[in-house]
Amino acid sequence: MKTPLSLLLICCFSMATMAIKPFPSDPKATPEAVKLIRNMMASQHKGLMFGHQDAMAYGTKWYSEEGRSDVKDVCGDYPAICGWELGHLELGTVYSLDSVYFDRIISGIKKVDAMGGVNTISWHFTNPLTGGTAWDVKSNKTVASILPGGEKHELYKQYLDKIAVFMLSLKTDKGKFIPVIFRPFHEHTGSWFWWGKNLCTIDDYKALWRFTVNYLRDTKNIHHLLYAYSTDRFTTEAEYLERFPGNDLIDQVSFDLYDRGADYPATLANCAKLVSKIAADKGKIGAVSEAGGPIAKNTEWWTKVLLETLRPYHLAYVLVWRNTYNPKRIMAFGPYKDCPSEQDFIRFYNDPKTLFMKDVKKIFKK
Ligand code: BMA
């Protein structure tokens, strides 16, 4: 019996769409992590989520006020994705290097998740070899020293044990693990962190990722994390992928890029174009994992620079960095009440391309 061509085509098409249904790199990912990657990959074709680092923890003029966010003060809605920082957790302290209590981070993550938003976690962690900060680049032996067989390997495992305890405490009221995007070893195409380009070999950087993910997944049995690979600025696809540790480890391809001059729109456009292509080719989430601009001076930065540059691309989110809590000296990458670019941020918010908490609540599948 002959099968009509159209039927064959429909079969092939549905098999193909089934085959590419996104699944996290972790074969044992929890249903919630699976749902998160699917929601984010679908939403990147509907709009661009707006994110803010430490959005719910503090703002320019307030610290730890329940339910408050500088972004919400301006536009009436929360960011769709909130960033949190775990630096100093590895030391066993009760608050982070940005002075946020880890208990508060846990309750904030729960709150964002319950509201329908997304959480992402960065980790500017102590140099295990020197005891200095994440920015201590005196030694080019740190990464090698924490790999299996290295003199600081056991210490690194102790750091990861603390990360594991934290991750395993992220549960909903119903006892389900809350999925989060974990983004360690970022901006490695620069050399300002001890895991940066000039401080370790390509193989050691990749081995660091592999050891870390395997340890958290297999030894610690953690399956609710999506892992993000995040470069700084780059020019070509080959450069972007030079230290990419593997499709079996990574769920998100992203980059960090701050506006530090006139080349910004062109550089941002090139990085966004390449990362959205790599994300599509690999079946991963694509994102601008950190951004920030001169929002006090360029009062149309939100719409004219950030939004118009990113509009053509299919990326899940852009997250702007933190609004430091310091009422006397404003240092903010996000908007805040009465800031010079407040009106422009409201236009950015009202544009159909941008997605905030209320939007993802509607478009994410439950
Ligand atoms: C950097 C700065 C630092 C901060 C670090 C980790 O970009 O904002 O002040 O400690 O991120 O959040």
| Domain CATH number, residue 300 | 3.20.20.80
Distances (CA, A) of 14 to 7, 19, 105, 365: 11, 8, 42, 20
* Total tally of structural domains belonging to the chain: 1
* Rounded-to-10 torsion of CA 276, 83, 213, 103: -170
Query: Is residue 333, in this structure, part of any structural domain at all?
Result: yes
pLDDT value of position 304: 98
Query: Is residue 4, in this structure, part of any structural domain at all?
Result: no
DSSP lists the bridge partners of residue 51 as: 81, 319
Query: Is residue 17, in this structure, part of any structural domain at all?
Result: no
pLDDT value of position 8: 54
The minimum-distance atom of ligand 1 relative to the CA of 85 is: 12
**Which residues in the chain show pLDDT less than 50?**
1-2, 11-18
Query: Is residue 21, in this structure, part of any structural domain at all?
Result: no
pLDDT value of position 327: 87
pLDDT value of position 21: 84
- 74 and 346 Cβ atoms separated by less than 8 Å: yes
Residue 83 alpha carbon to ligand 1 centre in Å: 12
Query: Is residue 322, in this structure, part of any structural domain at all?
Result: yes
- 181 and 120 Cβ atoms separated by less than 8 Å: yes
- Please work out whether the CB of residue 87 comes within 6 Å of at least one atom of ligand 1: yes
Q: Which domain holds residue 341?
A: 33-363
Give backbone dihedrals phi and psi of 85, rounded to 5 degrees, phi first.
Answer: -125, 130
Query: Is residue 18, in this structure, part of any structural domain at all?
Result: no
- Please work out whether the CB of residue 292 comes within 6 Å of at least one atom of ligand 1: no
**Amino acid at residue number 144:** A
Query: Is residue 268, in this structure, part of any structural domain at all?
Result: yes
- Please work out whether the CB of residue 97 comes within 6 Å of at least one atom of ligand 1: yes
- Please work out whether the CB of residue 98 comes within 6 Å of at least one atom of ligand 1: yes
pLDDT value of position 16: 47
When computed from its CA atoms, the radius of gyration of the chain, rounded to whole angstroms, is 20
Query: Is residue 20, in this structure, part of any structural domain at all?
Result: no
Token code pair at residue 216: 């958290």
